[in-house]
Amino acid sequence: MKVVIVYESLTGNTKRAAELMGGLLAERGVDTTVCPITAIDHQALALADLVVVGGWVDGLFFVGQRPGRAARLESFPPIDGKRCLVYCTYAIDPGKTLEKLTRIMERRGAEVLGGMTIKRSRLEQGAREFVDRLLQAVPA
């Protein structure tokens, strides 16, 4: 299985989660490419069996949460029919950010299989849980 993890990060938490996931997948024998949304590896994306897209939560503490820099996510290359998982990192409350990120990726043509929120103070545990769930849902 080939996986591409694309992330949008502001403070480095979402990037760190992506790197942790990429390392865990590679340890389990999964061909994985990790890249920021500003430098997508288009060849790896074209060959990917699964696309993972991560973002961060923007908005006020408990109101108006949304994917950070959503315009970048909205300009994601079309991935018609590709299986996709999404995640978002957050500090206090993710609100409906995951659902909004899911809708963005569905508009890009992805078949979103699910997603997960990861608290920024628990990146390692969250990345491990995400990878475990990924491999259960989409066996390598």
Tell me the CATH number at 65: 3.40.50.360
Give domain status of residue 140, yes or no.
Answer: yes
Give the C-alpha separation, 111 to 32, whole Å.
Answer: 19
pLDDT of residue 140: 63
Task: Using the structure block, give the residue that is written with the tokens 């949460």.
Answer: 65
Give domain status of residue 93, yes or no.
Answer: yes
Give domain status of residue 6, yes or no.
Answer: no
pLDDT of residue 61: 64
Give domain status of residue 22, yes or no.
Answer: no
The secondary element (H helix, E strand) that includes residue 44 is: helix 42-47
Q: Which of 19-33, 56-70, 93-107, 123-137 has the lowest mean pLDDT?
A: 56-70
For all residues of the chain together, what is the average pLDDT?
A: 94
Give domain status of residue 2, yes or no.
Answer: no
pLDDT of residue 8: 97
* Structure confidence at residue 62 as a pLDDT band (50, 70, 90): low
* Structure confidence at residue 78 as a pLDDT band (50, 70, 90): very high
Give domain status of residue 110, yes or no.
Answer: yes
- Indicate the burial class of 63 (C-beta count within 10 angstroms; 0-12, 13-18, 19 or more): exposed
Q: What is the mean pLDDT of residues 102-125?
A: 97
| Residues of the domain holding 74 | 49-140
Give domain status of residue 73, yes or no.
Answer: yes
Give domain status of residue 13, yes or no.
Answer: no
Q: What is the mean pLDDT of residues 103-119?
A: 97
Is pTM, for the whole model, over 0.85?
Answer: yes
CA proximity to 107, closest of 67, 135, 134, 139: 67
Q: Are strands 66-67 and 50-58 parallel, antiparallel or unpaired?
A: antiparallel
Give CA separation, 124 vs 70, 78, 116, 130, in Å. 25, 30, 14, 10
pLDDT of residue 64: 77
pLDDT of residue 7: 98
Give the C-alpha separation, 91 to 48, whole Å.
Answer: 30
Q: How many domains in the chain?
A: 1
